[in-house]
Structure 1
Amino acid sequence: MTYADRAAQFRALHRAGHPLLLPNAWDHASAAALAHSGFAAIGTTSLGVASAAGKADATGDTREETLRLARGLARLPALITVDIEGGFAERPADVAKLAAELAAAGIVGVNIEDGRPDGTLTDTATQCELIRAIKETVPDLFVNARTDTYWLSAGEAGETERRAAAYQQVGADGLFVPALQDEKTIATLVTTFDLPLNILYAPGRLTYTHLADLGVRRVSTGSLLFRASLHAAVTTAQAVERGGALPEGLPSYADAEALSAGYDQGADQGFSGPGGPAT
C-alpha cells in the first residue's frame, strides 16, 4: 500500500455522523495496546511524550523524542498522527523538514498548534507560513491545525473563525479547537468551514454522541489516557500495600510483551514513505 493510500484512509475516517475517536498514546506500549484493541488510528499526546522524557510540555524541547517514537509507532497496524506542538522550530523550512521525516517513516498526520509557551498566540501570518510549508513539502500529510483561542483564554468565536479561515486558505486539512465546548460555536464552525472539526473530549462535558450530532468529525482524548494511567499506577500500588482488590483484567507479562512482538525497530512492514515502492 502506498503512502497516498494510507493518507486517504486516514482522511476518510473523518466523517460526519460517526467521527473518528482518536485515542492518544505516549509510548510504544500504549499505542500497541490501542492498536491491538482495534483502533484504526492513533495519535500522540505531547504532554505524555514530554513527561515520559522528564521534560515540560509545549516548550519545543521534545523533537527528537517525538520523531523517535513516531518511527516506532508507524510500524504498528494503525494509522498514526503525531502532535508536533508548534513545529519544534521557528523557520518554516525546518518545520517542513520534520514533516517530511515523519511522512518518510509512515506517519499520515500531524497536529500543529498556534499557542506559545508564554501563553500567547502565534501571529496568524506566521502560523500560515508553517502550515503552507508542510503542505507544499508533503501534500498528502493530514495537517490538523490547532488553534488555542479557547485553550489559552476564555475563548473568542470571532478570532477562532478568523484563524480557521486563514488556516484553511493555506491548505490545512482539519481544525482542532481544544477547550471549546460551546454547542453554538461548534455548530457554527462545522457549517462555516470545509475543514473537519476536531474537539478534545472533556470528561463530564459534551459526549462523543452529542459531538457527533453537532457535526464534529474527530474527537481526541488528548492527555486523558496518559493521566488515567498515572492514576491507575498509583492506586494499584496503594492497593498492594493496603491489601485491597486489584483492578480486574490486567494484562499478563506475556500479554504486555506480545504487544510489541513483530514491531521492533528492525521490523520491516514493507513501507518506505512518500515516493517509496507500493506494496
Structure 2
Amino acid sequence: MTTSCVEFRALHHSNRPLLLPNAWDYASAAALAARGHRAIGTTSLGVAAAAGRPDGTGATAAETLALARRLRTLPVLLSVDVEAGFSADPAAVAEYVAELAGLGVVGVNLEDGRADGTLSDLEDTADKVAAVKAAVPDLFVNARTDTWWLGVDDPMPQTLARARAYQAAGADGIFVPGTVDLATLRVLTREIDAPLNALYQPGGPGLDDLGRAGVARVSTGSLLFRAALAAVVAVADDVRAGGLAVPDGPRPAVLDGLPSYAEVQGLVPAGGAET
C-alpha cells in the first residue's frame, strides 16, 4: 500500500473527524491546499456545473478525469467523486477508477442514487464496489447511500442493509448525506463497522459534535462551490448598484479575505497545470 493511501486511511481514525473540503477546479483545490488542508475531495455538482453539464447523470467522466490529472501536482491527498461510476458496468467502473488511481488519487466516492431520484439496486452498487476493490485494493472506497438524501420512507433499515452490503463488497467507508441529527448518527456509527462520512450542513452540528457522535469524516459537498457562486452574484449586484464601498462606510464582508491578483497567480505553476 502506498504511503499516501496509508496516510489517507489514518486520517479517518483521528481524535477529530477528517474535514474534507470539496474543490471543483485547480484554483479552488490549490487555495484549499495553501490553507493547510492535507486531504481534499472533488464535488460532482461543481465539476459538472463548471463544465455546463448536469450533475448525477454520468455526463462528466472526461471532466472529472481531467481535473484529477491537473490536481496531481498539488501536495494533497485527493479523493474524487465519481457519481455512480459513470457506467452501469462494474468492469468499466473499475477500469475508470484504476485510471484515477494511476494519477495518484487515494479515494473515490461511489453513490447509489440515480438521476431520476431513486436508489439503484443494492446488488448493482455492491458489484461496482467489489470490482473497484479487486482492481485497486489500496484505494479508499467511500460507498455513498442516498437513503436520507432522497427522502426514502423509513431510511434507517435501508441504510444499514446497504451499508453492510457495501462493506461486504469491500467498501472502506460509508457516506450517508442528508442527515446531521446526532441521535441518528450515533445509531449509524454504532451499527456500521466502518468510518462514517457525514455531509456538513450550515447551521448544523460542528466537527466536534459530529465527532462525539462517532462521525469519522465530514465533507462540504457542493457547499463551497455554491458559496462561491453566491459571492459572484453579490459582488456583481453591488457593483451594478453603484459600487462595493460607500465612502467612509464599512468594508463589505464579501471582500474580507479577498485574494489579490498576484496571490491567485501564485497558486498556479509557472508552466500551467497538467491537462
Provide TM-score, normalisation by structure 1: 0.91
Where does residue 206 of structure 2 map in the other structure? 207
Matched residues in 2 for 1:266 and 1:205: separation? 38
In the TM superposition, residue 265 of structure 1 has moved relative to its aligned partner by 4.0
- 1:247-266 aligned within 5 A: 247-261=255-269, 264-265=272-273
Matched residues in 2 for 1:182 and 1:102: separation? 34
Larger relative contact order, structure 1 or 2 (CA cutoff 8 Å, min sep 6): 1
Q: Is the 8 A contact 2:70 2:274 kept in 1?
A: no
Distance 1:263 1:160, change over 3 A: farther
Q: Greater CA deviation, 67-76 or 187-196? A: 187-196
Q: Is the 8 A contact 2:189 2:215 kept in 1?
A: yes
SS in 2 for 1:14: helix
RMSD: 1.5
Q: Deviations over 1:118-140 (max 9, x none)?
A: 11111111111000000000001
SS in 1 for 2:13: coil
Where does residue 243 of structure 1 map in the other structure? 243
- 1:120-269 aligned within 5 A: 120-154=118-152, 156-241=155-240, 242-245=242-245, 246=252, 247-261=255-269, 264-265=272-273
Matched residues in 1 for 2:234 and 2:10: separation? 39
Matched residues in 2 for 1:225 and 1:114: separation? 23
Q: Which runs of 5+ in 2 are unaligned?
A: 246-251
Q: Greater CA deviation, 248-257 or 161-170? A: 248-257
Identity of aligned residues (%): 54
Distance 1:192 1:139, change over 3 A: same
Matched residues in 1 for 2:178 and 2:239: separation? 36
How many pairs does the alignment contain?
Answer: 265
Matched residues in 1 for 2:52 and 2:139: separation? 29
Q: Which runs of 5+ in 1 are unaligned?
A: 268-279
Provide TM-score, normalisation by structure 2: 0.93
In the TM superposition, residue 56 of structure 1 has moved relative to its aligned partner by 0.6
1:179 partner letter: G
